[in-house]
Chain A
Amino acid sequence: MTQKTNRREGFPWYGWAAGSVLTLLVALLCVCAGSVPLPMGDTLAVIGRAIRGVPVSEGLPKSIILSIRLPRVLCAGLSGAALALCGAAMQGLLRNPLADGSTLGVSSGGALGAALAIVLGISIPGLPLAASTGMAMLFAFGSLMIILTVAYAMDHSLATQTIILIGVIFSMLSSALLSLLIAFSGEKLRSITFWTMGSLSGRSYTHVLILLFGLLVCGGVLLSQEAELNAFAVGEENARHVGVPVRRVKMRVMIAASALIGICVSVGGSIGFVGLIVPHMVRLVTGPNHRKMLPTTVFSGAIFLMLTDLMARTVLSPIELPIGVVTSLIGAVMFVSIFYRSRKGGRGVC
């Protein structure tokens, strides 16, 4: 069988279109569903009028849709897309399917940064959330640097086990420091559950805009590195041989991924394992080629976290579960499964 067809590299336009439509449909479903179910038609009408600037009659549906559920669902979708994309990029870069913001301790580092900004009262006039977001980004990047530097010093091959071990230790250290900070912060910090298990409750459109900005800038950088990540996923030495500027690409991906994780943490706390679960599931369908896998991961991450958030707020209604509890339950099982398969098979994973 000869392959004469001229293959188009990259994600097709209809893939983007289908992904966008599906994501929007799930978002609409998540806005409608909840402790107070809302008809889809009415919900669409309210959102449509609000987008067009047409006055919407006051009442419970308007307040539930526009003030509570829509910003929350949008935050869930954007966080899910961002966290999943970061996980996929780090897994390609480090050639390690277990790399993720939560397993590497980057999320807890970011949470520590955001909490520190709040406790120390660091603020930027006119930009109420900028200081905590900035500190979360800085600490997330610093955490990744520390973890990789220590791991490299211990093991030049940056083996899976070494990185994960250092990440777990670093994560525990950051969480301990965060607990200490919360214990002494009085009323300044939200509950420890927010920072360790995450929550998207009460998020506003400002948070939506922060996440959207982060996803467009940092996510754009990560998506532009599809070809480079393919080369890294095959091997760093091989990447250099085919012409990838390895050091520059590595720094670019690490800065973009850790900054984006920092932004997500500052908005929704540490929502663990999204970057582990989603890329793993997507790889089973698309294969490891980042040209198909990264865009699919963006849509799947958004859909996954919107549905998980829906589950967290409805499954034990009126009690609301922290979203990170649900993602961690799924993620822990998947972590063990991937680790077991990669150790047992010794030939990598999908």
Chain B
Amino acid sequence: MLNVDNVSVRYGDKEVLSRLQVRVEPGQWWMIAGPNGAGKSTLISAISQGVPYTGKIAVLGRDARDYNAGELARQVGVLSQHHASGYAFTVREVIALGRYAYRTGFFKNGDAEGEERILEAMAATGLTELGERNILTLSGGEMQRVFLAQALAQQPALLMLDEPANHLDLIYQRQLFALIGDWLKTPGRAVISVVHDLMLAKHYGTHALLLREGKTIAAGETAAVLTRQNLFAAYGMDVFAWMQDLLSEWRE
């Protein structure tokens, strides 16, 4: 479904991603982890054609550079880390933007399935009741759900989430990850998410990519990647022991 082949990204003199190799197949949920500045969000940007890169990224067997913006949006949905609108759009209006790539006509207002997909996305994210709310009045968590609904309305095959648990309380984190898990059950879909919480990564991810300073520390099945040695190599500290310590305080 997605093949990242020898991809490097430079910002000026600094190489932020170095010769990255990842192959994502349908049904897989890849968790990208690593310390700040490891290049996690840059990888998401490169796949969504937001930054220039060397190497090759293929989406569904076709070079991502050959897609036009609309074609790519129909295959790849992205939930960004930061959301900020300067204007008082309604929740529904923002979610409806997810149908942009499907709209036809001079004024881009033709989309036979649009209404149905928008309502589905709103229902899936628990936003049906908030359709007419001004997005400037939403909490961070509600805002995150609005943009997730927008990405779902795009009906992508690949969903990329950049730190999706940001701004979410524990209840919504659990709901969000369960929702993504359900979404992934439909054949032909895959998920990539950038996460800081390694417990979430281990529990929900089928695969993981561990990065440090733009380089791959380990990539593959979650259990094989999130090991004590690999985490030490990525974070420069004994993450494993620290997490065990933390968890021990929760034993009844």
Contact = CB atoms under 8 A, between A and B. Distances in A.
Interface of A: 1-4, 6-10, 95-97, 223-224, 226-228, 230-231, 233-235, 237-238, 240-246, 283, 287-289, 291, 342, 347-350
Residue of A10, A241, A342 ringed by the most chain B CB atoms within 10 A:
A241
Interface of B: 48-50, 68-74, 77-78, 80, 83-90, 92-94, 96-98, 100-101, 103, 106-109, 115, 119, 128-129, 131, 136, 147, 150-151, 154
Contacts of B85: 95, 233-235, 348
Given A237-B50, A237-B80, A349 B86 contact: yes
Contacts of B100: 227, 231, 242-244
A97 B103 contact: no
Contact of B50 (A1, A240, A245): A240
Given A97-B87, A233-B89, A241-B48, 17 more contacts: A2-B119, A4-B119, A8-B109, A10-B107, A233-B85, A234-B89, A234-B94, A238-B147, A240-B50, A241-B80, A243-B73, A243-B100, A243-B154, A245-B70, A246-B69, A348-B87, A350-B87
Nearest to A230: B97
B148 to A, nearest CB: 12
Contacts of A231: 97, 100
Residue of B115, B119, B147 ringed by the most chain A CB atoms within 10 A:
B115
A235 B147 CA distance: 12
A4 B48 CA distance: 33
A97 B50 contact: no
A7 B131 CA distance: 13
A243 B74 contact: yes
B61 to A, nearest CB: 20
Nearest to B128: A2
B119 A3 contact: yes
A263 B191 CA distance: 50
Chain A contact surface mostly = loop
A238 B72 CA distance: 13
A297 B231 CA distance: 57
A243 B70 contact: yes
Contacts of A95: 85-87
Nearest to A226: B107
A234 B100 CA distance: 13
Contacts of A9: 96, 107, 109
A188 B97 CA distance: 51
Nearest to A293: B87
A97 B77 contact: no
Given A242-B98, A246-B69, A3 B92 contact: yes
A199 B116 CA distance: 52
Contacts of A1: 128-129
A227 B108 contact: yes
B105 to A, nearest CB: 9
Nearest to B94: A234
A230 B93 contact: yes
Residue of B77, B98, B100 ringed by the most chain A CB atoms within 10 A:
B100
Contact of A243 (B72, B87, B109): B72
B35 to A, nearest CB: 23
Contacts of B115: 6-7
Contacts of B93: 230, 289
A7 B96 CA distance: 11
A242 B89 contact: no
B44 to A, nearest CB: 10
Contacts of A3: 92, 119, 128, 131
B77 A241 contact: yes
Closest 6 pairs (CB-CB, A-B):
A243-B73, A243-B101, A288-B87, A227-B108, A348-B86, A243-B70
Contacts of A289: 89, 93
Contact of B69 (A10, A226, A243, A287): A243
B103 A227 contact: yes
Nearest to A97: B86
Given A224-B107, A233-B86, A348-B136, A238 B97 contact: yes
A241 B83 contact: no
A266 to B, nearest CB: 29
B84 A235 contact: yes
Nearest to A348: B86
7 contacts: A2-B119, A3-B128, A95-B87, A243-B71, A243-B101, A246-B69, A287-B89
B170 to A, nearest CB: 26
Contacts of B107: 9-10, 223-224, 226-227, 291
Contacts of B151: 241
B83 A238 contact: yes
A7 B147 CA distance: 20
B224 to A, nearest CB: 31
A344 to B, nearest CB: 14
A4 B150 CA distance: 18
Given A1-B129, A227-B103, A227-B107, A349 B87 contact: yes
